A and B are shown apart, each in its own frame.
Chain A
Amino acid sequence: MNPATILENHRPPLWPHTLLAPLLAGAAVLLALAAPPVVGFALALFAGAVCIGSALTLARRVRSGERQLRELDKRLLQSQKLAAIGELSSGIAHEINNPLAIITQEIDLARELFGPSGCPDPADLAEVRDSLDQIGKQVERCRLITHKLLNFARKMEPVLQEEALEHVIEDMAILAEREAKGRGVAIVRAYDQTLPTVRTDVPLLRQVILNLLTNALAATPQGGTITLATRRSDDQIIIEVRDTGCGIPPENMAKIFNPFFTTKEPGKGTGLGLSLSHGIVTRLGGTLTAQSTPGHGATFTVALPL
């Protein structure tokens, strides 16, 4: 049903309560001033009754309006969920269809090279072998996608450990740093040394940090900087990965955490990294958010409860 129609159906007009009632009450009060006391008292009572009646009607209308709005919200959430599922399946279809398309073609080519005699020309043997290799490669690509999806679906309970945050993230920073150096990108650490220990799933959080650092590396051109910062904000621990890369265009902002959303070349990224990270941080009871001014880099923020 069109949301607008729910609100518009069976709506009596508002004017009896907003216009007529105050007018009647006002007139009654004015008359009561001029009238003898008994009549004035009756008129004042009448004015009061009109006001209370209108107020009650208006309150009821407001409440039913709110109820309808809540109902609408629920439907909207449901339709958003359905849209997300739709987007997910279309993403899976696309990611699997592309390697399947290559496999289909390689099989067609190999069959053709085998010819009607069933025996390929010796000159074509290398090509047949190359086709088989390629089929293997594409199957591997599909396998990687399905395995990551299974990881996605697997709900492993986090194992919570007390650990200094720096111990969790520093190894990932070192790893990213070696690669960053080769590309002329600097990694700057801005750790808050006074942070208390966190209680979290250490390897899962490492996975998130490494993923954010990898994305930052891919986005940052030579001479750029990636900042890895930690700080405390009220009852949360904040980890920030800032880069000076190309940033995220506003139209992509809403999609970056969607499974299969990627701006990389085909076969280069599965588009699952950020959505997996988002899932992990949520499971750890925190939030993963992004801010970006296009052209001025992006900041990904992990907020974990203390």
Chain B
Amino acid sequence: MGLRVLAVDDEADFIETLVKRFTYRRIPVTAAANGPEALARLDREDFDVVILDMRMPGMDGLTVLQEIKKRHPLVEVIILTGHASVEAGMQGMSLGAYDYVLKPVDFGELLEKANKAYERKKLNESRDHS
């Protein structure tokens, strides 16, 4: 089974385009509009990579990241944010994000990152089982 993506962003237009582009590449993708919705999805279904926006109303991205890493430590998270702050980047990376990327990001690049994150998850899982 290949890469399964969960995309979390409150910007409907952005997420819609993202879903379309992943679907076009035949990569299963699910959208969530906010943190609690994403966490609920993760509890019910298996995902490999979460693409997470930092600035969302309600639960902020860092809290969502922390929760994801607590409940599903093997799931890899790529943070996609329009807001550059080295401080937030440091926090995100030290909380276990795979990468911290500034918007706008080229879709090809994002796909490559998602695949790399997926590869890491597989490596991690194979080690856990051995």
Chain A positions within 8 Å of B, measured between CB atoms, are: 148, 151, 157, 159-161, 163, 167, 171-172, 174-176, 178-179, 202-203, 206-207, 210-211, 213-214, 217, 273, 276
List the 9 closest pairs (A to B, CB-CB), nearest first. A178-B84, A207-B93, A175-B89, A179-B86, A214-B86, A159-B123, A203-B98, A159-B124, A171-B101
Question: Is residue B90 contacting chain A, with contact meaning CB distance below 8 A?
Answer: yes
Given contacts A171-B100, A172-B100, A214-B86, whether A207 and B116 have CB atoms under 8 Å apart is no
- Say yes or no: B120 contacts A175, CB within 8 Å: no
- Say yes or no: B86 contacts A203, CB within 8 Å: no
- Say yes or no: B116 contacts A175, CB within 8 Å: no
- Say yes or no: A210 contacts B116, CB within 8 Å: no
Given contacts A175-B84, A202-B116, whether A210 and B102 have CB atoms under 8 Å apart is no
- Say yes or no: A210 contacts B98, CB within 8 Å: no
Contact with A along B84-116 (1 / 0, CB 8 A): 111101100110111111100000000010001
Given contacts A213-B86, A214-B86, A217-B86, whether A159 and B102 have CB atoms under 8 Å apart is no
- Say yes or no: B100 contacts A175, CB within 8 Å: yes
- Say yes or no: A163 contacts B93, CB within 8 Å: no
A161-B123, A207-B94 are known; give 9 further A-B pairs, CB within 8 A: A171-B99, A175-B84, A175-B100, A178-B84, A178-B102, A179-B86, A203-B98, A210-B86, A214-B87
In the complex, A207 Cα to B95 Cα: how many Å? Answer: 10
- Say yes or no: B90 contacts A210, CB within 8 Å: yes
Question: Is residue B127 contacting chain A, with contact meaning CB distance below 8 A?
Answer: yes
Q: Collect the chain A residues with CB atoms within 8 Å of residue B94's CB.
A: 148, 151, 207, 276
Question: Is residue B43 contacting chain A, with contact meaning CB distance below 8 A?
Answer: no
Closest residue on chain A to residue B88 by CB atoms: A175
Closest residue on chain B to residue A211 by CB atoms: B90
Given contacts A157-B127, A161-B123, A210-B90, whether A175 and B98 have CB atoms under 8 Å apart is no
A161 touches which of B87, B100, B116 (Cβ 8 Å): B116
Contact with A along B4-35 (1 / 0, CB 8 A): 00000000000000000000000000000000
B51 to chain A, nearest CB (A): 14
- Say yes or no: A206 contacts B93, CB within 8 Å: yes
Q: Collect the chain A residues with CB atoms within 8 Å of residue B86's CB.
A: 175-176, 179, 210, 213-214, 217
In the complex, A213 Cα to B85 Cα: how many Å? Answer: 12
Question: Is residue B119 contacting chain A, with contact meaning CB distance below 8 A?
Answer: yes
A203 touches which of B84, B87, B99 (Cβ 8 Å): B99
List 11 A-B residue pairs with CB atoms under 8 Å apart, sorted by A's residue number: A159-B120, A161-B120, A163-B116, A171-B99, A172-B89, A175-B84, A178-B84, A202-B116, A210-B90, A210-B93, A211-B90
Q: Collect the chain B residues with CB atoms within 8 Å of residue A203's CB.
A: 93, 96-99, 120
**Among B85, B97, B100, B102, which residue has the most Cβ atoms of chain A within 10 A?**
B100
Q: Collect the chain B residues with CB atoms within 8 Å of residue A176's CB.
A: 86
Closest residue on chain B to residue A178 by CB atoms: B84
- Say yes or no: A202 contacts B93, CB within 8 Å: no
Q: Collect the chain B residues with CB atoms within 8 Å of residue A148's CB.
A: 94
B85 touches which of A160, A167, A179 (Cβ 8 Å): A179
In the complex, A176 Cα to B102 Cα: how many Å? Answer: 11
